[in-house]
Amino acid sequence: MKIYLLISGKYGSRVVNNLAEHGMASNIVGMEEYPEDLPHFIDDFSHYIPHSLPDADLILAVGLSGDINMVVPEVARKTGAKSAIIPIYSPEQMPPGLQQEITESAPDVRIVFPKPFCSLEPIGDAPIDEFASRFGKPVLYIKSDNFIKKVKVLRGAPCGSTDYIAKGLWSMPAEEAELNATQKLHNYPCNASTDTDPAVGDTSMHLASYQIKEAVKRGLGFAVKSAVVDDEICDTAKCQEECLKTCPQVRIGLETITISNEEKAIIDPATCGYCEICVKECPQNAIEIQNGRFELEG
Ligand code: SF4
Ligand code: SF4
């Protein structure tokens, strides 16, 4: 697969280095680096289009903020790429209007906007799926008894944080790994924004921490903390399903909260990041955060 990169700033460089460290250097057919201080609003972005462009299958635009992202459709057209990934790491970087404009200006290119990059999963598009089979939402194989014996990264965050976290989990008590992974993500450090994204109701950095926690939980087969719904109190006839509408994980496309056939909310401990938003939003006070051991299915 031939990848053309459009990058800017520390985050862009970090992703390029991580791809190279994972043997992808030969897949990178070209790269354009933009300064970080470009104006947010650009009337005419045509002179930011690189002059000579090779054939490519996938465009990755990482770390570009504001209107400069409008180069993606044109770069895709000139390289022949039919797929593009523009990860969103902060609310100012990609307002919803700009995202729509980019999508509409390239109707024949499949463009995804993972929010954040470490939430990317296969979507049924060959180049994006090939990339997402190795980079995106973290997946860990974990061998443990009471302590972590082995951790293998099956899919890592594109910034490289999953490898760093995986190394740090070795020999730790299994029950501490989930919370420790979040701490290690911050130490790496995660470059995602700490500003609340109004489209999601949470910060990109929190969303990133929910993804690595999920990888640890699934690797271990259990979670140690989760929001829990009290079936006796939950009553969808008396609410607007506020929990479902406000859960940030649901808003990025996950099934963290679902409504059962009995019309009760169900929370999936594997993906719950215990942000407490649903706890505050439920008008029936039917949800609380609980510590314990939640066995995961599968
Ligand atoms: S948990 Fe609360 S907000 Fe969610 S469906 Fe039940 S009553 Fe409604
Ligand atoms: S605490 Fe509630 S809103 Fe937050 S991730 Fe868990 S289920 Fe979603």
Mean pLDDT, rounded, of the chain:
96
User: Which residue owns the Cα nearest ligand 1 atom 5?
Assistant: 241
Q: Is the CB of 267 under 6 A from ligand 2?
A: yes
pLDDT at residue 297 greater than cutoff 90: no
On the 0-12 / 13-18 / 19+ scale of CB atoms within 10 A, 41 is exposed
SS (H, E, C) the chain: CCEEEEEEHHHHHHHHHHHHHCCCHHHEEEEEEECCCCCCCCCCCHHHCCCCCCCCCEEEEECCCHHHHHHHHHHHHHHCCCEEECCCCCCCCCCHHHHHHHHHCCCCCEEECCCCHHHCCCCCCHHHHHHHCCECCCEEEEEECCEEEEEEEEEECCCCHHHHHHHHHCCCEHHHHHHHHHHHHHHCCCCCCCCEECCCCEEHHHHHHHHHHHHHHHHHCEEEEEEEECCCCCCHHHCCCHHHHHCHHHHCCCCCEEECCCCCEEECCCCCCCCCHHHHHCCCCCEEEEEEEEECCC
pLDDT value, residue 40: 84
pLDDT at residue 177 greater than cutoff 90: yes
Instruction: Tell which atom from ligand 2 comes closest to the C-alpha of 271.
Output: 5
Instruction: Tell which atom from ligand 2 comes closest to the C-alpha of 250.
Output: 8
Based on the fold, state whether residues 156 and 89 are members of the same structural domain. Answer: no
Based on the fold, state whether residues 96 and 54 are members of the same structural domain. Answer: yes
**Cα(175)–Cα(179) distance, rounded to whole angstroms?**
8
pLDDT value, residue 161: 96
Based on the fold, state whether residues 151 and 262 are members of the same structural domain. Answer: no
Based on the fold, state whether residues 158 and 212 are members of the same structural domain. Answer: yes
> Which residues make Cβ contacts (< 8 Å) with residue 67, sequence separation at least 6?
39, 40, 41, 42, 45, 98
What is the average per-residue pLDDT within 13-39? 95
Q: Which domain CATH number covers 145? A: 3.90.1010
Q: What is the pLDDT of residues 235-278, one digit of tens each?
A: 999 999 999 999 999 999 999 999 999 999 999 999 999 999 99
Q: Of 193, 222, 251, which one is at a domain's C-terminal end?
A: 222
Q: Of 89, 111, 132, which one is at a domain's C-terminal end?
A: 132
Instruction: Tell which atom from ligand 1 comes closest to the C-alpha of 233.
Output: 7
Phi then psi for 148, rounded to 5 degrees? -75, 125
Based on the fold, state whether residues 190 and 122 are members of the same structural domain. Answer: no
Based on the fold, state whether residues 149 and 166 are members of the same structural domain. Answer: yes
Q: Taking the CA atoms of 264, 208, 154 and 187 in sequence, report the sign of the dihedral they define.
A: negative
Based on the fold, state whether residues 74 and 189 are members of the same structural domain. Answer: no
Q: Taking the CA atoms of 92, 115, 131 and 24 in sequence, report the sign of the dihedral they define.
A: positive
CA 53 to chain CA centroid, nearest Å: 29
**Cα(45)–Cα(3) distance, rounded to whole angstroms?**
22
pLDDT at residue 298 greater than cutoff 80: no
What is the average per-residue pLDDT within 202-224? 97
Based on the fold, state whether residues 74 and 169 are members of the same structural domain. Answer: no
Distance 134 CA to ligand 2 centre (A): 27
Q: Is the peptide bond before 122 cis (omega within 30 degrees of 0)?
A: no
Q: What is the pLDDT of residues 45-77, one digit of tens each?
A: 888 999 989 999 999 999 999 999 999 999 999
Among 40-49, 119-128, 172-181, 229-238, where is mean pLDDT lowest? 40-49
pLDDT at residue 41 greater than cutoff 90: no
Per the structure, the count of domains in the chain is: 3
pLDDT value, residue 191: 84
Q: Which domain CATH number covers 230? A: 3.30.70.20
| Band of pLDDT at residue 39, cut at 50, 70 and 90 | confident
Ligand 1 binding pocket mutation candidate from 232, 233, 239 (most atoms within 8 A of CB) = 239
Instruction: Tell which atom from ligand 2 comes closest to the C-alpha of 275.
Output: 4
What is the average per-residue pLDDT within 176-205? 94
Based on the fold, state whether residues 101 and 217 are members of the same structural domain. Answer: no
Based on the fold, state whether residues 40 and 157 are members of the same structural domain. Answer: no
Based on the fold, state whether residues 29 and 61 are members of the same structural domain. Answer: yes
Q: Is the CB of 69 under 6 A from ligand 2?
A: no
Instruction: Tell which atom from ligand 1 comes closest to the C-alpha of 229.
Output: 1
Q: Of 132, 161, 196, which one is at a domain's C-terminal end?
A: 132
What is the average per-residue pLDDT within 78-99? 94
Ligand 1 binding pocket mutation candidate from 226, 228, 233, 234 (most atoms within 8 A of CB) = 234
pTM of full prediction above 0.75: yes
Residue 158 to residues 36, 130, 153, 183, Cα–Cα distance (Å): 20, 13, 12, 18
- Lining ligand 1 with CB less than 6 A are 229, 234-236, 239, 241-243, 265, 282, 284, 286-287
| Parent domain of 14 | 3-132
